Structure formats: C-alpha cells, structure tokens
Amino acid sequence: MGLKLFNTLSRSVQEFVPLDAAGKRVGMYCCGPTVYDFAHIGNWRTFAFADLVRRYLEFKGFEVRHVMNITDVEDKIIKRVRETGQSLREFIGQFETAFFDDLKALNCQLPHVTPRATEHIPEIIALIERLVARGLAYKANDGSVYFSIEKYRGCGCTYGRLVKLNFDEMRAGERVASDEYEKESIADFALWKARVPEDGAVFWPSPWGEGRPGWHVECSAMSMKVLGSSFDLHVGGEDLMFPHHEDEIAQSEGATGQPFVKHWLHGAFLLVEGKKMSKSLGNFFTLRDLTAKGFTGREIRYALLQAHYRETFNFTLDGLQGARAALARIDECLAKLREFGVPPSGGSPVASPESKAPNLVSQFTEALDNDLNISAAWAAVFDWVREMNRRIAGNSLTAEEAAAALAAWETVSSVLGIGAAAEAEAPPEVAALLEARQAARRMKDFKRADAIREELKAKGWTIEDTPKGPKLKKT
C-alpha cells in the first residue's frame, strides 16, 4: 500500500504522489517560528509532527527538500523591539538561537533551508509588484499595499480553499493591516505596510515608500524562491489555516497563475491539562520549562508524537511521566536483546530486518501509510516489545533473531526519532559500592551484598544482574 495522507485542500485522504515526474523528489515547506519569544509546547507539537512527516517520507524512499522559514519581522516582533529598545537583529537573535537549541533537544532534523524574511525583502517586493501589475493588489491612502479579495474572486479564483467561508454572512471588503484577523472578516490584507513612527528603525525602501512586509506574503515569497511556484507539501498547525495559509494560496496563485501547493497537512490543536494553553492558567509551557522540571527532550518528543496529528491532543505532566515509563520499557527490552551479542558463528547480523522479525517493520509501515496513524504504529512497537520479552523470558530467542530484532528496531527508530537513552555515568562512590557488592558475593556474604544493593537503591541506582555481569541503572 502506498502512503495516504489527508489533504486539507480536498478534505479527503489521498495517495501521496509528488509532482516530480520520476516520483522521487518532494518539496516540503513548514511554517517556522516567529522569533519574538521561546516556542511553546503547542508550537513544538507542529514541529515534531513535521519532523515525523519528513522522516517517514525519507523512509519511503523520497528525496525530501525540507524548507522552514524564520519569521523575523512582523507585528509582535516590532512591538517587542520597541519595548526592549534593542535592535531587530539583537532582539530576535536570542530567540532564534534558542529555537534551534530546542529543535536539537527534541531530535528534530534540521531543515535543509531556513530562510529569514528580512533576507528576502527583494523577493517579497517583486511578488507584490506582480500582484499590483495583475490588478490584484493596490496602494491605499495610508501608503500600504493591500491584496484585493474582490478582484481575486472576480478573476474566477476561489478564496476559501482550506476553510469554508460564507461570504453572505461575513464582513467582506474591509481592509486589515494586522497580520492576524478573525474569520468574520474576509478582508483585504496588507502585503506591504507603510512605515509608521512605532516601527522605529525597522523598515525598508520600496516602490511604494518606506515600510515592511506583511506576514502572509513573506511565506509565499520564500517558499516559491526555494521550491518553485508549485510544490508538493505544506505543513503547519490548524490555527494557521485561516487567514495565513488561505492568504498564501491567494497571493501565490494570484501572482503566478499556477497551483501553489498540491498537498496541505495540518496538525490539530494541543490542550494542556485539558485546557487551552494560557499563562494566566499556569499551563503555558516552553520546552525549557519542561526540561527544568526534569523531563528530557526524548520524553517530550514521545509525548508529542503519541496521538494522531489530526486529533486534538491533551498534553499533561502525568502524560510525560507515562512517556518516561513507556520509553523505559523499550530501553529495557533493547538492553536484553543486546545481551545476546552477535551470532555464535561470529558473523554479522542478518542484512534484512524483516528476515527474522517481520511483524515490527511491516506493521509499523502499514500504520503510518494510513494517514500517519502514529497510535497504531506505537501499538505495533509495544506488541513487538511484549513478544521480544516473552521470547527472552522463555529462552527461545537465538542470537541471530536478536540481531534481526535490533536491526528492525533501528529501522523503526529512524522514523520515530526518539533515539537511545542517555547513558548515566555512575559517580565513583556508586561504582565503588558496586565493586564492594561483587566482593561480598564472591565471599558469599549475601547479607552484606543485599545491604549494599539497598544502599545503592537509596542513592537512586539499581543493579541489573546480566549474563555479562552486573550493570548499574539510574532510577
């Protein structure tokens, strides 16, 4: 079965077929961070989801070109720059650096291209000029340039491709300078914003006077520069469907006359402790807030990738504890499999992960081929863990089968991106206690050996006796 994904554009599940004639190359664009603050856990659900999409496409043999923009000029950024008195680059630099640090902490692959809006002002201006030339944009009395929804619809184009809009019940024909606005207003939106005193030093020259770009046009200019006027896949959160993505389609297709994006993927909202995230409710978390509570990026990634991307997901601290326990189950099983070592003949592990352990990879693939059904994929993983543990406990697993099982896991893990648990290095005093326990056992002083085990447990370490000797494990 081929990969099937829900396309927001058609509102249906479709087989994913790239535009590339050879069916190999995939252009993928993900709306990146607006660097006016640290990214919160709702943002990270979208970025972890985008990373899963890319990893799975690559697993399926596609050659992905992954582009994620950096929004480094827009309304909220201008406001913060004014409040802090910093330069634009000084202000956004701290949050851009933090974003990439957090991306690494979640083991998300770096996009191949990360264009900044401020570095693409010529491309943005050129795109707006094309829209003006085609009669789809106009300069208003305030010096700003707006996209005309009426003129766009008058050309036979549809505004409302991703969301259903009722033009009879909405306030059509208004003009909106803000980057974000409500569905009730089907408004002409700003492509270029004339300079005002509040902008301070953040402005650029243009054919319409000094000013700065609107948010929506930035993404169109950057994505089309890197991926072309038509590309395969656009990923983002459902909160961006309107107006941002709807406006991207209108201005891009209005300028080129060509289909903009073939396939749109939108991740659902994330709730925190059952409620919409809010600083006033105390349930607003950045990645740094959660790591300060002792959770690892690996555990947070697992929690974010538990639910299907189109399901509203309730993120909780208890859920993070559950993620820790689930990962510990996987890690324990993998450790037992590694105890088997290489086959007795001294040969290498079998080449194909399917040869001795067919269920994990095939069931995992079947699940993700079905609109990235991550819940079913995790079910396949834990069915495999149970089976491996049963075989190990029953002493019915050969070294060759263990090697094949580990190869199968590495294949699956490359898609999930959860990596391996960080090895906790025992401090010298703990290592000395382990050696003292071993000495007591050799002397058959089992009472002393048990006492040392309890002492280690009190210090947060357990001893796992394996065929290759005792191992310390951080609890």
375-381 long-range CB contacts below 8 Å, 24 or more apart? Answer: 375/306, 375/307, 375/308, 377/416, 378/306, 381/330, 381/412, 381/416
Q: Which residue has the tokens 């409710």?
A: 281
For residue 467, what pLDDT is reported?
Answer: 61
For residue 344, what pLDDT is reported?
Answer: 46
**Looking at the domain 21-272, which fold is it?**
Rossmann fold (3.40.50)
CA 433 from centre of chain: 43
Gap between the Cα atoms of 240 and 67, Å rounded: 17
What's the pLDDT tens digit per position in 69-115?
Answer: 999 999 999 999 999 999 999 999 999 999 999 999 999 999 999 99
The pTM of the full predicted model, rounded to 2 decimals, is: 0.87
CA 70 from centre of chain: 15
For residue 171, what pLDDT is reported?
Answer: 66
pLDDT tens-digit profile, the chain (475 residues): 699 999 999 999 999 999 999 999 999 999 999 999 999 999 999 999 999 999 999 999 999 999 999 999 999 999 999 999 999 999 999 999 999 999 999 999 999 999 999 999 999 999 999 999 999 999 999 899 999 999 999 999 999 999 988 887 776 667 888 877 765 667 899 999 999 999 999 999 999 999 999 999 999 999 999 999 999 999 999 999 999 999 999 999 999 999 999 999 999 999 998 988 877 777 889 999 999 999 999 999 999 999 999 999 999 999 999 999 999 999 999 999 998 754 444 444 444 444 444 489 999 999 999 999 999 999 999 999 999 999 999 989 999 999 999 999 999 999 999 988 766 566 778 778 888 888 888 888 888 888 888 888 887 788 877 666 777 777 6
Output DSSP code: residue 178: S
Strand pairing of 137-139 and 145-147? antiparallel
For residue 352, what pLDDT is reported?
Answer: 46
For residue 75, what pLDDT is reported?
Answer: 93
User: Which residue blocks in 65-214 are alpha helix, DSSP H?
Assistant: 75-84, 88-105, 121-133, 149-154
Domain ranges in the chain? 21-272, 344-422, 428-474
Question: What is the CATH number that goes with domain 344-422?
Answer: 1.20.120.640
For residue 409, what pLDDT is reported?
Answer: 96
